[in-house]
Amino acid sequence: MVVIRGSPDYVKKLMGKEAFDNIELFSRIMGFEAEITNEVKIEFNPDRPDLFSFVTLRNAIREYYFTEGRRDYKSEGIGMGVSNENLDSKRPVILTYVAKGGKIGEYLEDLIDFHESISDNVGRSRVKAAIGLHNMDMVKPPLIYGKVGEYTSFCPYDQASEQPLARILREHDKGIQYSHLSIEGERVFALMDEDGIISIPPTLNGRRTKIDEETSNFFIDITASDLHTARKLKLLSVYYFNSLGYSIFDDSETLNSGILRNGFESYKIKDWKKISKYVGNDLEPGEIRNYLRKMGYEGDGDNIHIPFYRIDVMGFVDIVEDVCKARGYDNILEKEISIDSFGKPDIKKSKAELLAEIMIGLGFQQVMSFFITSPRNNNGNEINNAFGIMNPKSQDFSTIRSAIFPELLEFFQRNVRRPYPQKIFEIGRVIQSGRESDHISFAIIDSKNGYSIIKGYLEKFLVATIGKDNTIISDNENNSFINGRGGQILIKGNNIGSIGEIHPEVLFRYSLSNPVTVVEINLDGLYSIL
């Protein structure tokens, strides 16, 4: 998830009063979370990276509610070329362009946050691609993207003097986090001009070209492991600067060549009735075009034009989804489903429903999360043996979960402002050691919470399902639990799950300050005993 935040006065100044007043209403249409109190906090799903700033969110709200006319997107001239000496490296791609306009001023923080967000999400934590922002007035061509020795001197953007790169990459916060992406063999990736190094992609930029509120001309570089991801980041970055009225100077004329014409990609609708079928209402082509216009599209005849910054739109299904959002899911008519056959209850589903009734009777609320999750939600840690998605749309949905309880921790994180105690459970699928199975997990968060409380609920659950023939053996195998406050659940000598109190380090990663206790049971193991 991506979170942007700021004071109401600051956000209103960036967005304008009309757009600001429609944030919460628009959030219900688009499906993101907005909280406006003494702070504006907006949490986006990863599928709309073009919205990850107050500036671009303002654009979307204006298009939806205030019928902004078509804008022409185009490059104004030639940018600043770079000689690429890393074509055979693990990071062989570099794209650049220049944005010129007025002083960035109060938009500086929003600008930086947006580019960091898309580098982290679309760029997969900078692994696949990342963006660097520079003061173009301090850049002196010619530019070279090459490699330097690890003892070459460099001055980071937040320091006053030069140091050897080896020390910077070892001690600087950004170096500790990203330096493995900047090193190949004994050499370090570097972007250089006539006066020396201006950045170490994708780790950190130099002090000489650091941007501030007075910067009016920007040089933007995108380094990447593949051209496809680099192009996505470039389009999103161009969109941000274009939204502020900056002129774009680009050697590759990204917006005026290839599949894009003046910032739009044409898509031909072959069957308008097919959209109506999926939406569930009889819609005329003109109505559909109007709904799409609200979402930033343009159109004429059977052609619709997808704006270049909508990198999430990959085909017909995404277009239908935008029509549904613009029309409102509440306006989709219900239709009776007619099936010419008779079904029978699924045995596992029937058992799961019985277990859910037991948990609800114990005072727990049922929740549902996704089978595909974030790497951090695999046993609460970043681990390497989880099953990953080869080409995930988002880092937040890139691995198959191996346990349910981390999803419950994430639920607590989302509801940290809600009253305590919170008691929740989920029944769902996981994959462990290459085998898929059904699990149940239940958890409690409360200031007066402790191991004995969750143990009492576990005993009640087991009494209701199998009787009292169970044993809990203390162990230290699960590093998500506090040492001595966790154990294996044994039924007739068979290990069917675990119980424990979450370790403070794990709670910190989820921004939780109250104790959390959890139980996770392998239902396939439980069913085999029943």
C-alpha to C-alpha distance for 189 and 513, rounded to whole angstroms? 40
- Which stretch of 185-194, 346-355, 435-444 has the lowest confidence by average pLDDT? 346-355
Residue 530 has pLDDT above 80, yes or no: no
pLDDT band at residue 376 using 50, 70 and 90 as cut-offs = low
Domains of the chain: 2-66 (3.30.56), 82-257 (3.50.40.10), 265-331 (3.30.56.10), 347-529 (3.30.930.10)
- CA 486 to chain centroid: 32
What SS3 string covers 330-389?
A: HHCCCCCCCCCCCCCCCHHHHHHHHHHHHHHHCCCEECCCCCEECHHHECCECCCCCCEC
Which tens digits make up the pLDDT trace of 32-72? 999 999 999 999 988 899 999 999 999 999 999 887 655 66
- Which stretch of 36-40, 74-78, 225-229 has the lowest confidence by average pLDDT? 74-78
Which tens digits make up the pLDDT trace of 461-511? 988 888 766 677 766 566 788 888 888 888 877 888 899 999 998 998 888
pLDDT for the residue 380: 45
Q: Which residues, at least 6 apart from 8, have a Cβ–Cβ distance to it below 8 Å?
A: 20, 36, 38, 39, 40
Q: What is the mean pLDDT of residues 516-529?
A: 88
State whether residue 498 is helix, strand or coil: strand
- Which stretch of 308-322, 345-359, 383-397, 473-487 has the lowest confidence by average pLDDT? 383-397
pLDDT for the residue 382: 40
pLDDT for the residue 149: 94
Q: Which residues, at least 6 apart from 388, have a Cβ–Cβ distance to it below 8 Å?
A: 375, 398, 399, 400
Q: Which residues, at least 6 apart from 159, have a Cβ–Cβ distance to it below 8 Å?
A: 207
Is the separation of the CB atoms in 201 and 161 below 8 Å? no
Degrees to nearest 5, angle at CA 262 with 261 and 263: 90
Which tens digits make up the pLDDT trace of 422-455? 999 999 999 887 788 899 999 999 999 999 999 9
pLDDT for the residue 386: 62
pLDDT for the residue 218: 97
Which tens digits make up the pLDDT trace of 9-24? 999 999 999 999 999 9
- Which stretch of 67-76, 125-134, 180-189 has the lowest confidence by average pLDDT? 67-76
Mean pLDDT of the chain: 88
pLDDT band at residue 395 using 50, 70 and 90 as cut-offs = low
- In the chain, the amino acid numbered 89 is S
For the chain, give the percent of residues with pLDDT over 70. Answer: 93
Predicted model pTM: 0.70
Q: What is the mean pLDDT of residues 360-378?
A: 84
pLDDT for the residue 392: 67
